[in-house]
Amino acid sequence: MAMAKIIPTFLLRLIALGATISATAVMVTSHDSTTVLNLTFVAKYTNSPTFKYFALTNAIASGYGLTTIFLPSKTSLWRLLLVLDLVILCLLDSSISAALAIGYVGKKGNTQAGWLPICGQVPKFCDHANAALICGFVATIVYFLLVLYSLHSAVNLLTTGKA
């Protein structure tokens, strides 16, 4: 029972850690430039506050993931972990949603607002951002599962007296 409980949590934390580190790294290294009428236009993640927020949130989640993965399985901090997992889930969910919204405008533009798509000009930047968004999405799903899993264990203990 104990092993069966520890292994999926450990595995989920490992996948989440990989995903958040990848999301941060891929977003931070996104860079492309294009020249229009002798003017060079550089696209990088720091141009958008949303992408900066995305990179920061995934970096925080990576640091948190790295800390929790080394904690012993029977830690007295599990109550704190439960709340912190929820906070990280909310942060990741928020950052991926915001980045997706901006990424969508970057790809499709918005005719009514007069915002033109930019992915045609800076495809390498968009590919990087896309890959980072996929990693961020995976991380969010995994943290959702982690919180659900903790809830399930807590509720099981509550109702049947055994985890």
Query: Rounded to whole angstroms, how far apart are CA atoms 103 and 97?
Result: 10
- Are residues 87 and 57 in contact, defined by beta-carbon separation less than 8 angstroms? no
**By rule CB under 8 A, what string of x and - marks binding of each residue 45-64 to its own copies?**
--xxxx--------------
CB of 7 to its own copies, least distance (A): 22
Regarding 39 and contact with its own copies (CB under 8 A), the answer is: no
Paired with 44 in beta bridges are: 31
Token code pair at residue 19:
């995903």
DSSP 48: -
- Are residues 46 and 133 in contact, defined by beta-carbon separation less than 8 angstroms? no
Number of Cβ within a 10 Å radius of residue 55: 23
Regarding 42 and contact with its own copies (CB under 8 A), the answer is: yes
Query: Rounded to whole angstroms, how far apart are CA atoms 24 and 59?
Result: 6
* Contacting its own copies within 100-129 (CB under 8 A): 100-102, 104-106, 110, 112-116, 118
CB of 3 to its own copies, least distance (A): 21
| Nearest CB to its own copies, comparing residues 86 and 131 | 86
* Residues contributing to the site for its own copies (CB under 8 A): 41-43, 47-50, 79, 82-83, 86, 89-90, 93-102, 104-106, 110, 112-116, 118, 144, 147-148, 151, 154-155, 157-159
